[in-house]
């Protein structure tokens, strides 16, 4: 299992140091939550911050766009140093055009679904994306409770991809901690995002290690 700590739970005044701290603690990717105050009722970071923290680590940047018009911002996040860009199928941009634009910039693309969106919504894109992100909370805020009832969506997506001979990564985001990760591991999740579970842990290194080994 790979672990992508979410910077949403770090100390925003020391973001560079926080990235270094979590890199040293064993993070596989860095998850960056971009919110526009429209798609979700919260505003977080934009491309300038992504670019500013880029110099603090070599780890892949997993940029999660929770914005109404992702297509309009692909260039900005590509320039800022994103390695993977995921966008919501519930957003306003046309998914195929958005995936194409991400690929044009040499970046890996992923589609995200909110809790109320069925697994089938991602099926048309499985042959074109690197990753599917299944939200396990309502997007917008860190520290919410994990929705275990999203796990059948993970198994369904994995099964559909296998049936079509497609190699795809499934990521889950929201409420992942040492207490909840077992359900995700059992469902076959490849990457877990964890904000509070890692940044607010007494020992982030141990927390990351625990999450990493949860599928062993
Ligand atoms: C929620 C964000 C998550 C969030 C997860 O909208 O997409 O990445 O930071 O935080 P925790 O792990 O605290 O639920
Ligand atoms: Zn996220």
Q: Is 72 helix (H, G, I), strand (E, B) or coil?
A: helix
Sheet holding 84-88, edge to edge: 2-5, 191-194, 169-173, 131-135, 108-113, 84-88, 61-66, 30-35
Distance 164 CA to ligand 1 centre (A): 31
Q: How far apart are CA 200 and CA 208, in angstroms?
A: 12
Percent of the chain with pLDDT over 70: 100
> pLDDT value at position 65?
99
Q: How far apart are CA 137 and CA 125, in angstroms?
A: 22
Please give the structure tokens belonging to residue 127: 């042959």
> Candidates 34, 175, 193: which one to mutate for ligand 1, based on the most atoms within 8 Å of Cβ?
193
Q: How far apart are CA 77 and CA 184, in angstroms?
A: 29
Counting from 1 in the atom list of ligand 1, the atom nearest the Cα of 177 is 12
> Candidates 3, 8, 41, 43: which one to mutate for ligand 1, based on the most atoms within 8 Å of Cβ?
8
- Cα angle 210-211-215, degrees, rounded to a multiple of 5: 100
Length of the chain: 216
Catalytic residues: 33, 173
> pLDDT value at position 120?
98
> pLDDT value at position 75?
98
> pLDDT value at position 36?
98
> pLDDT value at position 13?
98
Compute the Cα dihedral for 139, 207, 61, 134 and give only its sign.
negative
Q: Point out the residues of the chain with pLDDT beneath 70.
A: none
CATH number, domain at 211?
A: 3.20.20.70
- Other Cβ atoms less than 10 A from the Cβ of 14: the count is 11
Helix (H) or strand (E) segment spanning residue 135: strand 131-135
Residue 19 phi/psi, 5° resolution?
-65, -40
> pLDDT value at position 124?
98
User: In total, how many domains does the chain have?
Assistant: 1
Q: What residues have a C-beta under 5 A from ligand 2, the ion?
A: 33, 64, 173
Q: What residues does ligand 1 touch, defined as CB less than 6 Å away? A: 6, 8-9, 31, 33, 64, 137, 139-140, 142-144, 173-176, 193-197
Domain that holds residue 68: 2-215
Distance 32 CA to ligand 2 centre (A): 7
Please give the structure tokens belonging to residue 115: 């809790």
Q: How far apart are CA 216 and CA 209, in angstroms?
A: 12
Distance 160 CA to ligand 2 centre (A): 24
- Which residue has the least CA distance to atom 6 on ligand 1? 139
- Model-level pTM? 0.98
> pLDDT value at position 30?
98
Integer Rg of the chain from CA:
16
> Candidates 9, 63, 137: which one to mutate for ligand 1, based on the most atoms within 8 Å of Cβ?
137
Residue with tokens 């110099």: 55
pLDDT tens, 110-141? 999 999 999 999 999 999 999 999 999 999 99
> pLDDT value at position 99?
99
């Amino acid at each position: 299992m790979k672990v992508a700590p979410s910077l949403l739970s770090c100390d925003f005044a020391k973001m560079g140091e926080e990235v270094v701290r979590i890199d040293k603690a064993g993070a596989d990717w860095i998850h960056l939550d971009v919110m526009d105050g429209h798609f979700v009722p919260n505003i977080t970071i934009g491309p300038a911050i992504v670019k500013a923290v880029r110099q603090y680590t070599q780890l892949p940047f997993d940029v999660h766009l929770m914005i109404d018009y992702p297509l309009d911002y692909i260039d900005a996040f590509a320039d800022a140093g994103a390695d993977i860009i995921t966008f919501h199928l519930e957003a306003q941009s046309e998914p195929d055009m958005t995936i194409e634009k991400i690929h044009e910039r040499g970046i890996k693309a992923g589609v995200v679904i909110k809790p109320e969106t069925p697994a089938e919504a991602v099926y048309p894109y499985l042959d074109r994306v690197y990753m599917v992100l299944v939200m396990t909370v309502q997007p917008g805020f860190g520290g919410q409770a994990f929705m275990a009832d999203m796990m059948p969506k993970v198994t369904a997506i994995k099964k559909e991809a296998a049936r079509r001979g497609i190699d795809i990564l499934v990521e889950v985001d929201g409420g992942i901690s040492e207490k909840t990760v077992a359900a995700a591991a059992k469902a076959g999740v490849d990457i877990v995002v964890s904000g509070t579970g890692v940044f607010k842990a007494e020992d982030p290194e141990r927390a990351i290690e625990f999450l990493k080994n949860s599928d062993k």
